[in-house]
């Protein structure tokens, strides 16, 4: 019986939108940004401190990534005194707790790797063609449309490196997942395919 989902996603593949639609369809809790709040509660700190280390690497990599992204804030530095390894520990404890509670959809943060083999888990990876991802990026960030492909590659590389470093796994390895979904099919079709594939949900 499936009790929770984890969603890993290529940048621009509408994985977050799909996860939100899946959670709404099931009436389950969505843990995307809410996972940051849960981790902050575990740490006893303000959520902004967890955001700084969310799906990030050490400051040297953040510095490299920040330059590569032409000033993008997404790979910024963790606050003084709290490093990304500490943030990872808080996120892991939060993930373990919400997975045990069940009835939730967990987005990113290496959840598919960390919770691999956990009873009741169903792991999904979303991807899309580059033209589809570029259209998503250009609609969301029109002022940076000229950087679309560069930033898509950079974000995916950062996510892959995060999972490889912390879990020693290949983020895009199909063997990690129960279901691979191409978001070119549309979010409604993705949600239906997920529920059909998962079978008994409770």
Cα Rg of the chain, angstroms: 16
pLDDT higher than 50, residue 61: no
Q: Which of 69-73, 80-84, 145-149 has the lowest mean pLDDT?
A: 69-73
Rounded Cα distance between 69 and 150, Å, is 8
Give the tens place of pLDDT for each residue, 146-201: 999 999 999 999 999 989 999 999 999 999 999 999 999 999 999 999 999 998 77
Q: Edge-to-edge strand order for the sheet containing 29-31? A: 29-31, 104-107, 4-9, 121-127, 179-182
pTM: 0.82
Closest CA to 3 of 93, 96, 99: 99
Give the tens place of pLDDT for each residue, 1-53: 999 999 999 999 999 999 999 999 999 999 988 777 777 777 676 666 565 55
Domain ranges of the chain: 4-198
Does 4-198 carry CATH code 3.10.129.10?
no
**Beta strand spans in 10-140 (E):** 29-31, 104-107, 121-127
- The upper half-sphere exposure of residue 202, i.e. CA atoms within 13 Å in the direction of its Cβ, equals 3
């Amino acid at each position: 019986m499936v009790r929770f989902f984890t969603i890993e996603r290529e940048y621009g593949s509408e994985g977050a939108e799909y996860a939100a639609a899946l959670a709404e369809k099931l009436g389950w809790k969505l843990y995307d940004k809410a996972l940051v709040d849960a981790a902050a509660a575990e740490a006893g700190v303000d959520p902004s401190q967890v955001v700084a280390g969310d799906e990030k690497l050490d400051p040297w990599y953040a510095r490299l990534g920040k330059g590569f992204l032409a000033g993008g804030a997404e790979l910024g530095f963790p606050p003084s005194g709290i490093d990304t390894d500490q943030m990872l520990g808080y996120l892991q404890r939060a993930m373990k707790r919400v997975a045990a509670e069940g009835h939730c959809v967990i987005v990113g943060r290496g959840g598919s790797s960390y919770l691999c083999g956990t009873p009741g888990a169903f792991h999904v990876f979303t991807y899309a063609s580059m033209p589809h991802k570029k259209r998503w990026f250009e609609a969301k960030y029109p002022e940076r449309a000229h950087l679309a492909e560069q930033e898509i590659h950079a974000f995916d590389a950062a996510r892959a490196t995060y999972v490889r470093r912390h879990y020693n796994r290949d983020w895009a390895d199909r063997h990690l997942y129960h279901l691979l979904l191409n978001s070119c099919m549309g979010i409604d079709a993705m949600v239906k395919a997920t529920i059909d594939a998962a079978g008994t949900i409770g």
